[in-house]
Amino acid sequence: MVLRRFTWRIRTAIYTVINRVNDCFGTMYLYHFKKNRKQQAKLFINMGIACWIYILGVFIYDTQFNGQLSSDFKQICYFVMTIASSLLFFVAWRFYQRDGTYEMSITNTTFCISYPGSKKWSFSINIQDIDRIERRISHSHAGKGIPKVGVVTKDGNFYEICLNFFNGEFKAGLNPIKDIHQALNRVYPNISYKVNNTYSPW
């Protein structure tokens, strides 16, 4: 009991210092990720270029080995990759046309996501109100659905964490949800992580 009180006092003192630092120097982030749509567009441009590199590779291979590839395979390959690259370049162009900034931040008091053009995926929650991070997976006769990850507040509301901007997860060793959970636990260690499977006969 004495140890718990001592630990709580130390934690309270740390938060007080953090708040004073925030007041003096601005916001101190436990987790922060920011990316605009123009930066995101580069990913789709690179994917579109990769499609044309694949087409070029197929063409060179077929030329070097005297047409060993069937004409049906080449036609399907060229058609699919051309359509795919066109769609990817179109998405990149749309991102450039409709620029906006995605930002996720966790401070010692607030978990906030600002998603451009979406109220559904934008929220600001007091960390004291968060009960857990939950991964929801729905199952039906058609198989497993697309998982959703979000925070569940103590009043039962679910706020989805959308990672369409990937939050740096392509970099080696990074796991956005794990990093988010650890950042929240630095403020309130009782915030848990849960996997919730739901099954439907339909």
As given in the structure block, the two tokens for residue 132 are 């857990």
Burial class (CB in 10 A: 0-12, 13-18, 19+), 109: middle
Taking only the tens place, the pLDDT of each residue in 44-66 is 899 999 999 999 999 888 888 77
Among 14-28, 30-44, 118-132, 171-185, name the one with the lowest average pLDDT: 14-28
Using CA atoms, how far residue 131 sits from 81, 120, 134, in Å, is: 45, 20, 9
**DSSP designation for 201:** -
Amino acid residing at 108:
N
As given in the structure block, the two tokens for residue 27 are 């916001």
Helices (H), the chain: 2-25, 37-64, 71-97, 176-187
pTM over 0.75: no
**DSSP designation for 189:** T
As given in the structure block, the two tokens for residue 140 are 């039906």
How far apart (Å, rounded) are the C-alpha atoms in residues 106 and 27? 10
Choose between 184 and 146: higher pLDDT. 184
In this predicted structure, what is the pLDDT of residue 201? 58
Mean pLDDT along residues 63-92: 89
Choose between 135 and 4: higher pLDDT. 135
Residues of the chain with pLDDT > 70: what percent?
78
Among 103-117, 129-143, 182-196, name the one with the lowest average pLDDT: 129-143
According to DSSP, the residues that pair with 102 across neighbouring strands are: 35
Taking only the tens place, the pLDDT of each residue in 89-132 is 999 998 888 878 888 999 989 999 998 888 888 999 999 999 99
- Banded pLDDT at 25 (limits 50, 70, 90): very low
Q: How many residues does the chain have?
A: 202
As given in the structure block, the two tokens for residue 183 are 């950042």
- Banded pLDDT at 33 (limits 50, 70, 90): confident
